[in-house]
Amino acid sequence: MRLLEYQAKSLFSDYGIKIPKGLTSTNIEKGRKDAKTLGFPFVIKAQMPVGGRGKAGAIQKCHNADEFELKYAEIMQKVVKGEKTRAILLEKMADYKKELYLSLFLNRGKRCYTLIASSEGGVEIESVKNQVIREVGLGNVPKSTSEEVAKAIGLKDNSIQEFADLVQKLSKLTIEKEAELTEINPVAVLADGTLLALDGKVIIDDNAMFRHEELKKFQEVSELEEKAEKSGFSLVELDGNIAVVGNGAGLVMSSLDMLSDHGGKPACFLDVGGGATTETVYEALTLISKMKKVKGILVNLYGGIVKTTTVATAFIRAYENKIIDVPVFARLSGAESDKSKQMLSGSKTRLFDTVEEAINAAVIGVNKNG
Amino acid sequence: MVDLFDILIGKEGEKGYKKKSVIVQGITGKFGSFHTQQMIAYGTNIVAGVTPGKGGQKFDGVPIYNTAKEAVDASGAKISVVFVPAKFFLDAATEAIEAGIKLLIAIPEHVPIRDAMTILDLTKKKDAIMIGPNTPGIIIPGIIKIGIMPASPFNVGNIAVLSRSGTLMYEVSHNLSAAGFGQSISLGIGGDPINGTTVIEAFDMIRNRTNIDGVVVVGEIGGDSEELLAQHIIDTKFEKPVVAYVAGRAAPKEKRMGHAGAIIYGNYGSAESKVSMYAKANVPVAKRPAEVPMLLAGKLGRKKS
């Protein structure tokens, strides 16, 4: 789960990391009140889970009420890399003399957390120069390492202790909240040498959420994605018109790739989980029926142990209950496939021996009708 | 370093050769009980099960114990397959490793990263191996099946399959078997961000086996294990044919595609990055699972001539 900037900053604040004064709103009425409380000038920042907001004009300075009316409305409508503005953060500007970079992230290849710091923050991590990198096990950064890193990025005087403290606080947050990534970019160095977190990015391990009731309020899932999660499915909504369903994340991704290679446009990625039963497939079809854009369904199930007739029963029930009326193109691997074909003859579900054949038929079928 | 085949098969003439003892943690659960029956049917020597509170009972003739320690003490097993829900994985796995288990097959999906890393630390201290979490398990066709994979896709043969995805491991093995390429081992790495045994580690465990003519690596987007493996193949001058498959070319960025580990941040974890590193290592990448045996035949044929 990726937190929005203001959510990340509220966690920072809980851990004693200094942040600029700011207020968050989701409509202009509340925004106007916030503006009054803060006083001009300030920065208007779109809250959305992507980088590159500045370049896209989703973060802008604001000096007076007229400007506020225009810019608030404009930024509320922004879409950056497919992500809409969720809320707006108004934040006081700080006077600072330098921008640093600091993050702790899970290095999957090395299987440990990695601390990255740099004297040149404010740009995306790929372009951050002079990176100082330290491996820190499960995320617990020793105090001595924090100070050593502060010196390594060229800090002087009280900024060394300030930075070491900041690292300690971020490390504590990372461990206690089970974050895969915590990033402060930039860290502002103020005139008096103290530090301020100007931006914040935090990604929490979804699988650890059962231990973090306190973070549930930050969870944002689409209605359909939430329903899918309750059924134990994984659903990712996409822009096309052919729903892709299968069992196992790898298999569904593979089907998505092949469909795209054949010129098809996936409407969603839906993994019903390792096993497949009449109930799970029926539920998957029910979920898909709620997506208006779907003109056809591609099903790729590798059963092995599962009997295909078990799955075929779900299709028949879905048509009978008028859950779906779009054609289904299915490849079901498993026992009793001849019997399944017989069961489905005359229905809008067509069975194929290979996924390639099912995809070809789906692309042709949907384009013809679409 | 523990030898994987030694634990799974043993040495000829030695006690328990090709009949290694395995315990099942969570043997009475829905998945645990079903797959215990499937494993026994395949010929796996399941000697004990663990379900707290059900000690003294039996499941399909297999004695159940309250703790992993009792199960290990009574059976002498060195292998455990874990089916408990993700929330209880940390305790179950700790108990097993402390009891002397040397190979832990971690089936559960949704294990928190911190718990997986904690167990990984423990396995290193105790000279044990964890496969998974979120793995379908390991199968040595004709000898032993530990996990949740169906038996039908796998045939006896000389190709090793390493896979980050469960159903794709079945799909690719099925395609290989149909083309006449049986497997000496099919091993699921697991779909999580942190793997108890990485692709490279698994690769090194099997690379020098004489019963392996070629290796198939089934990968997906997310992380950098394919990139690291490609570099490793170059660095160590591995000469047997390697063929790869990478799922997720059409996946959008920053979206978790089912597996906790299948997510692209920037270019980190993208399919392009993996395919281009494989090209440097002279590893052909199949566009679809059915293409894997064709590429492998090409590589093996070229090598023979």
Cα torsion B116, B119, B121, B127: sign: negative
**E strands in chain A:** 22-25, 42-47, 59-62, 79-80, 83-84, 87-91, 96-107, 112-118, 132-135, 179-190, 195-197, 201-204, 234-237, 242-246, 266-271, 296-307, 328-335, 349-352
CATH code where residue A314 lies: 3.40.50.261
* pLDDT(B304) > 50: no
A271 in the same domain as A160: no
Please name the amino acid found at residue A4.
L
pLDDT 10s digits, A301-311: 987 777 788 88
Q: Do both A254 and A331 map to the same domain?
A: yes
Nearest CA in chain A to B192: A108
- Using pLDDT thresholds of 50, 70 and 90, give the confidence band for residue B233: very high
How many independent structural domains does chain A possess? 3
DSSP bridge partners of B59: B62
Of A49, A261, A266, the CB nearest to B287: A261
Return d(Cα B135, Cα B195) in angstroms, integer: 9
For the segment A166-185, the average pLDDT, to the nearest whole number, is 97
Do A108 and B290 count as a contact with CB atoms less than 8 A apart? no
Closest approach of chain A CAs to the CA of B191, in angstroms? 8
CATH number where A132 lies: 3.30.470.20
Indicate if A108 and A201 belong to the same structural domain. Answer: yes
Q: Does residue A332 carry a pLDDT above 60?
A: yes
Closest CA relative to residue B248, chosen from B276, B217, B275, B230: B275
Q: Do A109 and B163 touch (CB under 8 A)?
A: no
Q: Which residues pair with B200 in a beta bridge?
A: none
Residue A121, domain extent: 96-207
Taking an 8 Å cut-off on Cβ atoms, the answer to whether B111 and A250 are in contact is no
C-alpha B156: how far from its chain's center?
17
Residue carrying structure tokens 């779900």: A314
Q: Is A257 an 8 Å CB contact of chain B?
A: yes
Q: Is residue A229 part of a domain?
A: yes
Q: Point out the residue among A49, A125, A254 whose CB comes nearest to the CB of B247.
A: A254
Beta bridge partners of A195: A189
In the beta sheet, which residues pair with residue B186? B139, B161
Question: For residue A64, what is the DSSP state?
Answer: S
Q: Per residue, what are the HEC states of chain B?
A: CCCHHHHHCCCCCCCCCCCCEEEEECCCCHHHHHHHHHHHHHCCEEEEEECCCCCCCEECCEEEECCHHHHHHHHCCCEEEECCCHHHHHHHHHHHHHCCCCEEEECCCCCCHHHHHHHHHHHHHCCCEEECCCCCEEEECCCEEEECCCCCCCCEEEEEEEECCHHHHHHHHHHHHHCCCCEEEEEECCCCCCCCCCHHHHHHHHCCCCCCCEEEEEEECCCCHHHHHHHHHHHCCCCCCEEEEEECCCCCCCCCCCCCCCCCECCECCHHHHHHHHHHCCCCEECCHHHHHHHHHHHHHHHHC
Distance, CA of B65 to CA of B58 (rounded, Å): 9
Residue A166 lies in a domain: yes
| Residues facing A24 on adjacent strands | A89
* Predicted complex ipTM: 0.91
Q: How far is CA A16 from the centre of its chain?
A: 26
The 8-class DSSP code of residue A328 comes to E
Answer yes or no: do A194 and A279 share one domain.
Answer: no
- C-alpha–C-alpha distance, residues A200 and A184, integer Å: 5
Q: What percent of chain B has pLDDT over 70?
A: 98
CB contact under 8 A, A106 and B193: yes
Q: Which of A77, A92, A107 is the last residue of a domain?
A: A92
Distance from the Cα of B97 to chain A's closest Cα (Å) equals 19
Closest CA–CA distance from residue B184 to any residue of chain A (Å): 20
Q: Which residues of A are catalytic?
A: 101, 183
- A61 within some domain: yes
By annotation, the residues of B acting in catalysis are 259
Greater confidence, A303 or B174?
B174
Burial B6-20 (b: 16+ CB within 10 A, else e): eebbeeeeeeeeeeb
Residue bearing the bigger pLDDT, A99 or B303: A99
Kindly determine whether residue A249 and residue B262, on different chains, have CB atoms separated by under 8 Å: yes
Structure tokens at B99: 């009891």
Q: Which pTM does this prediction carry?
A: 0.92
pLDDT tens digits, residue range A197-229?
A: 999 999 999 999 999 999 999 987 777 877 888
Residue A311 shares a structural domain with residue A273: yes
Residue A304, chain B, CB below 8 Å: the answer is yes
Question: CB of B250 within 8 Å of any CB in chain A?
Answer: yes
**pLDDT tens per residue across span B95-145:** 999 999 999 999 999 999 999 999 999 999 999 999 999 999 999 999 999
Residue A249 lies in a domain: yes
pLDDT at B305 over 50: no
Q: Does the residue A267 lie in any domain?
A: yes
Do A267 and A128 share a domain, yes or no? Answer: no
- Write down the pLDDT at residue A369: 63
Structure confidence by residue, pLDDT tens digits, B263-299: 888 788 999 999 999 999 999 999 999 999 999 999 9
Q: Please enumerate in sequence order all residues whose Cβ is within 8 A of that of B226, keeping only pairs 6 or more positions apart, or say none.
A: B199, B217, B219, B244, B246, B274, B277, B278
Q: Are residues A104 and A243 in the same domain?
A: no
User: Of A33, A64, A92, at which residue does a domain stop?
Assistant: A92
Interface residue of B39, B107, B113 to substitute, partner A, most A CBs within 10 Å: B113
Mean pLDDT, to the nearest integer, of A2-19?
Answer: 97
Count of pairs with CB atoms under 8 A, one residue in A, one in B: 161
Do A305 and A350 belong to one domain?
yes
Mean pLDDT, range B44-59, rounded to an integer: 97
Q: Which residue of B has its CA nearest to A251?
A: B168
Whether residue A26 is contained in a domain is answered as yes
Residue type, B128: A
User: How many percent of chain A have pLDDT more than 70?
Assistant: 99
Nearest CA to A200 among A55, A98, A49?
A: A49
Q: What is the pLDDT of residues A70-114, one digit of tens each?
A: 999 999 999 998 889 999 999 999 899 899 999 999 999 899 999
Taking an 8 Å cut-off on Cβ atoms, the answer to whether B194 and A108 are in contact is yes
CA distances from A285 to A60, A242, A299, A328, A332 (A): 44, 13, 10, 10, 15
Cβ distance of B251 and A249 shorter than 8 Å: no
* pLDDT tier for residue A129 given thresholds of 50, 70 and 90: confident
* Token representation of residue B82: 């874990």
Does residue A187 share a domain with residue A303?
Answer: no
Is a pLDDT exceeding 60 seen at residue A370?
no
Q: What are the residues whose beta carbons fall under 8 Å from the beta carbon of A283, sequence distance 6 or more? A: A231, A233, A272
Nearest residue on chain B to A124, alpha-carbon basis: B266
Buried b (16+ CB within 10 A) or exposed e, B133-167: bbbbbbbbbbbbbbbbbbebbbbebebbbbbbbbb
**Contact by Cβ (8 Å): B277, B269:** no
Please check whether residue A180 touches B, CB under 8 A.
yes
Question: Does residue A132 contact residue A149 with C-beta atoms inside 8 Å?
Answer: yes
Q: Given an 8 Å threshold on Cβ–Cβ distance, is B163 in contact with A250?
A: yes
Which of B148, B224, B266 is closest, CB to CB, to A109?
Answer: B224
DSSP helix/strand/coil, A301: strand
pLDDT (0 to 100) of residue B302: 61
* Domain shared by A290 and A351, yes or no: yes
Q: Is residue A6 part of a domain?
A: no
Q: Which of these three, A185, A207, A229, is where a domain ends?
A: A207
By DSSP bridging, strand B129-131 and strand B103-106 are parallel
Which of residues 203 through 232 in chain B touch A, CB cutoff 8 A? 218, 220-225, 228
- Strand order of the β-sheet with B156-163 is B144-147, B137-140, B183-188, B156-163, B214-220, B242-247, B285-286
Subunit contact A234:B228, Cβ cutoff 8 A: no
Indicate whether A82 and A111 sit together in one domain: no
Going by pLDDT thresholds of 50, 70 and 90, the confidence category of residue A170 is very high
Tokens of B291: 């293409």
With CB atoms and an 8 Å threshold, state whether A109 touches B223: yes
pLDDT above 90 covers what percent of chain A?
74
For B:152-171, CB contacts with A below 8 A are: 152-153, 163-171
CA B273 to chain centre: 24
For chain A, helix, strand, coil in percent to 5 are 40, 30, 30
User: Who wins on pLDDT, B289 or A347?
Assistant: B289
**Residue A176 at interface with chain B, using a CB cutoff of 8 Å:** no
A310 in any annotated domain: yes
Smallest Cα distance from B298 to chain A, Å: 22
CB A185 within 8 A of CB A199: yes
A63: exposed, middle or buried (C-beta count within 10 Å: 0-12, 13-18, 19+)? exposed
Assign residue A51 the CATH number of its domain: 3.30.1490.20
A247 and A351 share a domain?
Answer: yes
Q: How far is CA B282 from the centre of its chain?
A: 25
Element (H, E) at A338: helix A337-344
Which chain B residue has the Cα nearest residue A127? Answer: B266
